Amino acid sequence: MEEGAIEVDSIQPIGFPDITPALARESGFLGVVDLLKVAKHGKGENIYLIRFHYVRPHKKNPSPRRSA
């Protein structure tokens, strides 16, 4: 991936019942089990759904040349 940034659209607390097969597929996983293999780590009990998107870097426009 080239340079750029990740822009967060939303952070939402959710529960286990909110983790559906459709949400897993929308998130790029084959299913809920695959999502949980990656997402469940540490001792925490809180679950957050974080939606974000990639922002490409701005192309730098060359400075206009001055006439001599």
Residue 1 has pLDDT above 60, yes or no: no
Determine the Cα–Cα distance for residues 7 and 54; give it in Å rounded to an integer: 6
35 CB neighbour count, 10 Å cutoff: 19
pLDDT at 67: 63
Q: Are 49 and 18 in contact (CB under 8 A)?
A: yes
pLDDT band of 68, cuts 50, 70, 90: low
pLDDT at 44: 80
Question: Of 56, 53, 60, 52, which is closest to residue 3 (Cα–Cα)?
Answer: 56
CB proximity list for 17: less than 8 A, separation 6 or greater: none
